[in-house]
Amino acid sequence: MTQHLLLGQTLGFDTITLPDGPEGARHDSAGAVLIDGDRIAAVGPAERLRADHPQAPVTDYGDALIGPGFVDAHMHYPQTAMIASWGKRLIDWLNTYTFPEEARFADPAYAARIANRTLDLALAHGTTTQTSFCTIHPGSVDAWFEAAEARGMAVVGGKTCMDRNAPDDLRDTAQSAYDDSKALIARWHGRGRATYAITPRFSPTSSPDQLSALGALWSEHPDCLMQTHLSEQTDEVAWVRDLYPNARDYLDTYEQHGLLGRRGLYGHAIHLEPREIDRLGEVGAAAVHCPTSNAFIGSGLMDVMGLARAGLGIGLATDTGGGSSFSMLRTMAAAYEIGQLRGQPLHPAQLMWLATEGSARALHRGGRIGHLGAGAAADLVVLDLASTPAIAQRAARAEDIWEALFPTIMMGDDRAVRATWVAGTCRIGA
């Protein structure tokens, strides 16, 4: 295998649940990461690793910070071209912007173009894994996984299923949702670094029959993920109550149809009832925090700390294009701001954990991606902690790594990404 030694500051985590603060973080101001092929072989002091591996080529990043690549746990690659469309409430926003754009993905060439664009933007921002809803078109799923495969990226995706309350050209049926998804699982799940997620958009756009069909499919393929939306806005919750009058609450519309489980990813999860929180915690499901989207569309303030204490996995996500940025740095900044509004400001260590380890564990890939440690994939981001004059002048006064890193979290963008490595290959920077 080909070895390569990266020098710089290093930052990783050993905790498997959201830490209370910097506890569990591993920082070395003069560290190194040894890459062997597509894996991390070792992380440790630069002096020792250089002595142990004198023949390995060296890239010296100086004072830049080497960490695991960012993991985006919920987004919509078909919405890339319409990001930052003037905001309305969720349902209006879907009808005005999202559905017309998603209809264009009937064209495989267009789907391929946007898939490639999305992944290139992700890499430019230091994101090495994305979890995406595709469209109802199977070709949109093929385009997504093909683009990721060409870049060596570990991604998650699935055909978005909708058989009601959507335009005619974006509806499937209960049977075609099952059949298409089953064929896509056979084609993509476990191929290279691809993970399939069974994907009902949300209860309002799926009939009970469709939810049941997808629940049956998940029971047949329990190693797949299942992704959907849950309790994003109050008017959405009221709509679900009208559509499913026999359900105890929004979560029950999924549970009744076999779509509640440990490998479930529930985006937003803002306006939850106590029973819903308890059930999600009991099964060990994951809630995915989408703070820029929640602010942009006016959805509300997710209770990150409360849900973590209740036993839920917590991921962090851009939710492009409801989210207003492709950057996980900006997403961390928004998570901090929303935490402040709840009286629960998140420490920089917690923010970095959510963007790496937390999201990876929500995807059931803990220790394999989003992790700076031996045996993990060599998916890495290298951050310049002085990428702009404003950031540099603040970081110069820092007394520890957290004071040095926080200005980049709050004010950084793709200029802060000095390099992005995927499976041992440098894809951005040098």
| Residue 197 three-state SS | strand
The confidence score (pLDDT) of residue 1 equals 60
Is the four-CA dihedral 76, 405, 126, 422 of positive or negative sign?
Answer: negative
Domain residues for the domain of 319 are 70-326
Q: Compute the C-alpha angle 143/169/320, nearest 5°.
A: 50
Listed residue (386, 360, 334) closest to 69, CA to CA: 360
Report yes or no: 80 and 113 within 8 Å, Cβ to Cβ. no
The one-letter code for the residue type at 92 is D
Structure-token pair, residue 211: 């939810």
Both 378 and 400 in one domain: the answer is: yes
CA distance 427 to 318: 21
Peptide bond into 321 cis (omega under 30): yes
Both 144 and 170 in one domain: the answer is: yes
pLDDT digits (tens, 9 = 90+) for 3-37: 999 999 999 999 999 999 998 899 999 999 999 99
Both 75 and 143 in one domain: the answer is: yes
Is the four-CA dihedral 152, 155, 158, 159 of positive or negative sign?
Answer: negative
Structure-token pair, residue 157: 């995706």
CATH number for the domain spanning 247: value is 3.20.20.140
pTM over 0.95: yes
Task: Answer whether residue 289 is part of any domain.
Answer: yes
Phi, psi at 380, each rounded to 5°:
-135, 150
E-assigned strands of 110-248? 127-133, 155-158, 160-161, 194-200, 225-230
Mean pLDDT, the chain, rounded, equals 97
CATH number for the domain spanning 15: value is 2.30.40.10
Both 194 and 205 in one domain: the answer is: yes
pLDDT digits (tens, 9 = 90+) for 105-134: 999 999 999 999 999 999 999 999 999 999
- What domain count does the chain have? 2
